[in-house]
């Protein structure tokens, strides 16, 4: 193991720079949260908050009426796609259901970020 020594002031400056970078990264994550249309939600969240069945969502995928991505066997949808489906009346739900989905998703993201920060 190699030991490196630096002056106290140089160490404090380094820590200050690391803290600045950390604050910048966190602020960028928070601004990305403001644009919900780019957020991804999984099938469970879509089905739960739009009150549709897995089969309905599967039918929409099979008929190419909704764009999705599959990662490790799990399907994810952009919020913008869910909004488009509602606007085109592919699913008839109120705006309230969509807002519940977005709020729940934001809550889950904040919980995950908080857990990562405390590790």
Q: How far apart are the C-alpha atoms of 43 and 26, rounded to whole Å?
A: 27
Q: How far apart are the C-alpha atoms of 80 and 98, rounded to whole Å?
A: 11
Instruction: Tell me whether residue 79 is in a domain.
Output: yes
Instruction: Tell me whether residue 118 is in a domain.
Output: no
Instruction: Tell me whether residue 86 is in a domain.
Output: yes
pLDDT greater than 90 at residue 89: no
Q: List, for residues 52-85, the tens digit of each pLDDT value.
A: 899 999 999 999 999 999 988 889 999 888 888 8
**pLDDT of res. 36:** 67
Residues 6+ apart with CB under 8 A from 98: 49, 50, 82, 83, 86
This prediction has a pTM of 0.58
* Number of domains comprising the chain: 1
Cross-sheet strand order for the sheet of 40-42: 40-42, 74-78, 69-71
Q: List, for residues 22-41, the tens digit of each pLDDT value.
A: 777 766 665 555 566 778 88
Please report where in the chains the tokens 């399907």 appear, as a residue.
Answer: 75
> Quick one: CA torsion of 21, 22, 25, 29, rounded to 10 degrees?
-160
Instruction: Tell me whether residue 18 is in a domain.
Output: no
Structural domain range at position 96: 40-110
Among candidate residues 114, 90, 85, the one with its CA nearest the CA of residue 101: 85
Instruction: Tell me whether residue 23 is in a domain.
Output: no
* Burial class, 109, CB count within 10 angstroms (exposed 0-12 / middle 13-18 / buried 19+): middle
Instruction: Tell me whether residue 93 is in a domain.
Output: yes
Instruction: Tell me whether residue 1 is in a domain.
Output: no
């Amino acid at each position: 193991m190699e030991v490196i020594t630096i002056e106290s002031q140089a160490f404090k400056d380094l820590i200050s720079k690391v803290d600045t970078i950390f604050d910048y990264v966190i602020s960028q994550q928070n601004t990305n949260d403001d644009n919900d249309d780019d957020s991804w939600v999984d099938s469970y969240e879509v089905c739960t908050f739009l009150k549709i069945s897995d089969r309905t969502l599967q039918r929409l995928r099979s008929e190419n009426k909704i764009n999705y991505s599959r990662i490790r066997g799990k399907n994810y949808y952009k919020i913008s796609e869910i909004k488009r489906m509602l606007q085109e009346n592919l699913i008839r739900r109120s705006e309230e259901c969509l807002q519940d989905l977005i709020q729940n998703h934001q809550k889950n993201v904040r919980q995950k970020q908080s857990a990562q920060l405390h590790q």
